[in-house]
Amino acid sequence: QALEDDLKEALDRRDLQLLYQPIVDIQNGNRIVGAEALMRWNHPERGQVSPSAFIPLAERTGQIEKLGRLAFEEAAEQARQWVSAIKLPENFFVSVNLSAAQLTSETLLNDMKTLVAQHKSVAGHMKLEITESQVMGNPEHAVYMLEAFKELGLGLALDDFGTGYSSLSYLHRFPFDTIKLPAPFVQIRDDSGISHTQIPIINSVVSLARELDLALIAEGVETEDEIARLKSLNCRYAQGFAFGAAMPGAELQRRLQAQL
Ligand code: G
Ligand code: G
Ligand code: MN
Ligand code: NA
């Protein structure tokens, strides 16, 4: 049976799991302030299939809308469970990724309205992550969609900032509250152990975020050196293996409980 059919069955059975990667405040003791929901598919014969494989497959085979609804629903249900079990940090958010195909889908806006209505009590904790190349494909349409999501009370993060050729003149037209700085700008990976070349880039993104009143999250943070450098450059939020890989909701809950 083709992988496409297996995916259809997995979606019907809701047999795809969401894991949650902590997002922390490095200027405040690495306190967890939010999490990114990342989908996993444990295929009965093939084992773990990467989202980099099954998301494009879902897009090609008309299953992305269903997958997107499942991701938002699962994340909102997890948020509701956390809210009932523990005292969440103020402004705690769970972000869900949107794929390129979803943003152009006719049903996305209606789906989001329905989902938000069904999960009203946690809508304020939900954020959507959209990559820069997605919004720049059709900026006018993106502005329209993003404004509608914002109206619904959802947070909005611009993923992979700096890789999608967006002109800075567009940035203020999009109602994002957060930008995410991709790993290559963050990671110190040359032979000397220190790379100075990204420092001006990080510096300018930090100032830009401050000017536009956006939260900035550095991604792919793996080492203490990287944390120290980001801290000294006044970057506030970070995500990466240094703080934890994507983990089951119950494990993130224990981490949240431990920091109360
Ligand atoms: O852990 P990682 O391998 O999860 O993710 C690989 C890629 O898949 C990333 O670009 C991530 O944004 C994307 N991804 C993970 N989960 C989802 C999801 O639920 N929906 C969409 N559209 N993309 C996802
Ligand atoms: O495209 P997006 O930014 O949504 O993708 C997130 C991806 O980055 C996921 O595949 C996630 O598993 C991965 N990831 C998260 N933290 C780290 C990290 O510290 N290092 C690396 N190399 N990848 C990471
Ligand atoms: Mn993301
Ligand atoms: Na990213």
For 42, the enclosing helix (H) or strand (E) is: strand 31-43
The distance of Cα 34 from the centroid of its chain, to the nearest Å, equals: 10
The set of protein residues with a Cβ atom below 6 angstroms from ligand 1 is 38-39, 50-52, 55, 71, 97-99, 246
C-alpha 1 – ligand 3 centre gap (Å): 31
Question: Which ligand ends up closest to the CA of 180?
Answer: 4
- pLDDT tens sequence across 42-84: 999 999 999 999 999 999 999 999 999 999 999 999 999 999 9
* Candidate of 54, 219, 221, 247 to mutate for ligand 2, largest count of ligand atoms within 8 Å of Cβ: 219
Q: What's the mean pLDDT in 98-112?
A: 91
pTM of the complete model: 0.96
Q: What's the mean pLDDT in 157-184?
A: 87
The answer, yes or no, to whether any atom of ligand 2 lies below 6 A from the CB of 244, is: no
Residue whose token pair is 């938002």: 72
C-alpha 9 – ligand 2 centre gap (Å): 27
Q: Find residue 105's DSSP bridge partners.
A: none
* Candidate of 7, 36, 55 to mutate for ligand 1, largest count of ligand atoms within 8 Å of Cβ: 55
Q: What is the model's pLDDT at position 260?
A: 75
Is pLDDT above 90 for 239? yes
Question: The domain spanning residue 172 has which CATH number?
Answer: 3.20.20.450
Q: What is the model's pLDDT at position 24?
A: 98
The answer, yes or no, to whether any atom of ligand 2 lies below 6 A from the CB of 226, is: no
User: What mean pLDDT is reported for the chain?
Assistant: 93
ipTM of the predicted assembly exceeds 0.85: yes
The answer, yes or no, to whether any atom of ligand 2 lies below 6 A from the CB of 65, is: no
| Contact (CB, 8 A) for 24 and 30 | yes
Q: Find residue 156's DSSP bridge partners.
A: 128
Q: What is the model's pLDDT at position 194?
A: 61
Structural domains of the chain, count: 1
Q: What is the model's pLDDT at position 171?
A: 84
Q: Report how far residue 177's alpha carbon sits from residue 3's, in angstroms, rounded to the nearest whole number.
A: 37
Q: What is the model's pLDDT at position 1?
A: 80
Print the domain residue range for 119.
3-258
Q: What is the model's pLDDT at position 180?
A: 96
C-alpha 111 – ligand 2 centre gap (Å): 27
Q: What is the model's pLDDT at position 134?
A: 87
- pLDDT tens sequence across 113-169: 999 999 999 999 999 999 988 888 888 999 999 999 999 999 999 999 988 766 677
Q: Which amino acid is at 205?
A: V
Beta strand pairing call for 93-97 and 126-131: parallel
